[in-house]
């Protein structure tokens, strides 16, 4: 973590917590003492059978043994699913989303024994199957192969089966996603949904003050504006998607001068685009704000 950025040592939710720490005995001892204090004060006991720790794949075996003896928790291999989303490092893989695909397959399998019209199938797809995806798509972007596999499952369910063989698909899923007036049935085209959530990530990063946004700014944008920043090898895949989509989103953003905290060079506060596009001055790489000149 960047020293000037937020120092995140835990993420707490309704009934559980993720703690980030080193594998040193002193750090582990302090954590266990804190958890013991919590148990004593609250009267609640931590379920060690459901608690586990994760290590880097290249960590020494001795480190794993020390943590296991100090905490009483068992080691778990990545990948883990937390709040319905897989947590992983590196590029997303199809196997990371197998649980989501299995959930959709199980729903479809339970419906195939029923006599459903095309209208009934369309309603189930739009209001049940595609709703299952919204939570995970709003957090992470699955690979295109996963999206295609999910759409194929939905398409096979919509057109149906006969004698254990798929019926002919009379229209593509893209055409079915059009409005009724254009010949579609208004199902969602999942690639567009992923794209929309990726755009929303950039808008949230630019417009709101969040712990997630502060962490990314300090990690990747200490010396340059996010708009001028380019993705580099070794940086996260989530940041890569934001860098890929930022210019598309920025073309539709215009800032109003209120607290004069906008970037002088990179925010579109004049309505003609960023001033950086109209000059080759090296000053455009500074994080100058309008307030500095006001």
Cα within 13 Å of Cα(72), Cβ side: 11
- As a whole number of angstroms, the distance between CA 79 and CA 92 comes to 11
At residue 119, the pLDDT reads 92
The residue-averaged pLDDT of 85-97 equals 84
Above 80 in pLDDT, residue 283? no
- As a whole number of angstroms, the distance between CA 15 and CA 281 comes to 53
Instruction: Give Cα 282 to chain centroid, integer Å.
Output: 34
Element (H, E) at 38: helix 25-42
Per-residue pLDDT of 58-80, as tens digits, reads 888 899 999 999 999 999 877 77
- As a whole number of angstroms, the distance between CA 199 and CA 251 comes to 12
What confidence category does residue 284 fall into, taking pLDDT thresholds of 50, 70 and 90?
low
At residue 213, the pLDDT reads 92
Of 4-13, 215-224, 283-292, minimum mean pLDDT range: 283-292
At residue 115, the pLDDT reads 87
The residue-averaged pLDDT of 178-206 equals 93
The Cα-based distances of 135 to 36, 81, 141, 194, 249 in angstroms read: 34, 13, 11, 11, 22
Secondary structure of residue 176 in the 3-state scheme: helix
**Which stretches does DSSP call E strand in the chain?**
10-12, 17-19, 52-53, 74-75, 80-82, 85-87, 161-162, 165-166
The residue-averaged pLDDT of 137-146 equals 90
Would you say how long the chain is, in residues?
A: 294
At residue 120, the pLDDT reads 93
Most confident of 45-49, 134-138, 244-248, 283-287: 244-248
Instruction: Give Cα 172 to chain centroid, integer Å.
Output: 28
Above 80 in pLDDT, residue 227? yes
The Cα-based distances of 35 to 7, 23, 74, 215, 218 in angstroms read: 20, 17, 16, 26, 30
Instruction: Give the closest residue to 215 by CA, choosing from 190, 246, 239.
Output: 239
At residue 239, the pLDDT reads 92
Secondary structure of residue 11 in the 3-state scheme: strand
What average pLDDT does the structure give for the chain? 88
Per-residue pLDDT of 2-21, as tens digits, reads 888 888 888 888 778 889 98
Above 80 in pLDDT, residue 89? no
- As a whole number of angstroms, the distance between CA 223 and CA 230 comes to 12
DSSP string, 96-160: GGHHHHHHHHHHHHHHTTS---HHHHHHHIIIIIHHHHHHHHTT----HHHHHHHHHHHHHHHH-
Q: Is the pTM of this model over 0.75?
A: yes
Above 80 in pLDDT, residue 121? yes
Per-residue pLDDT of 143-171, as tens digits, reads 999 999 999 999 999 999 888 889 999 99
At residue 1, the pLDDT reads 74
């Amino acid at each position: 973590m960047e020293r000037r950025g937020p120092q995140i040592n835990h993420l707490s939710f309704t009934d559980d917590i993720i703690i980030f720490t080193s594998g040193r005995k002193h750090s582990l001892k302090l954590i266990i003492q804190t958890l013991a204090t919590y148990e004593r004060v609250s009267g609640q006991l931590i379920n060690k059978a459901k608690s586990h720790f994760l290590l880097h794949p290249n960590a020494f075996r001795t480190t794993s043994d020390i943590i296991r003896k100090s905490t009483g928790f068992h080691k778990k291999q990545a990948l883990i699913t937390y709040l319905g989303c897989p947590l992983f490092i590196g590029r997303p893989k199809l196997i990371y989303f197998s649980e989501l695909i299995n959930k959709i397959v199980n729903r479809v399998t339970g419906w195939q024994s029923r006599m459903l019209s095309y209208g009934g199938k369309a309603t189930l797809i739009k209001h049940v199957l595609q709703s299952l995806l919204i939570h995970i798509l709003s957090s992470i972007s699955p690979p295109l192969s996963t999206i295609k596999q999910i759409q194929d499952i939905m398409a096979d369910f919509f057109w149906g089966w006969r004698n254990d063989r798929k019926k002919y698909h009379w229209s593509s899923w893209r055409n079915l996603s059009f409005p009724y007036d254009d010949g579609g049935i208004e199902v969602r085209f999942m690639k567009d949904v992923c794209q929309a959530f990726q755009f929303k990530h950039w808008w949230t990063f630019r417009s709101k003050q969040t712990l997630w946004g502060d962490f990314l700014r300090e990690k990747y944008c200490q010396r340059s504006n996010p708009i001028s920043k380019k993705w580099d090898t070794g940086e996260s895949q989530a940041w890569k998607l934001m860098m890929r989509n930022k210019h598309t989103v920025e073309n539709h953003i215009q800032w109003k001068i209120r607290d004069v905290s906008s970037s002088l060079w990179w925010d579109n506060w004049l309505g003609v685009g960023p001033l950086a596009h109209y000059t080759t001055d090296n000053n455009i790489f500074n994080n100058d704000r309008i307030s500095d000149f006001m």
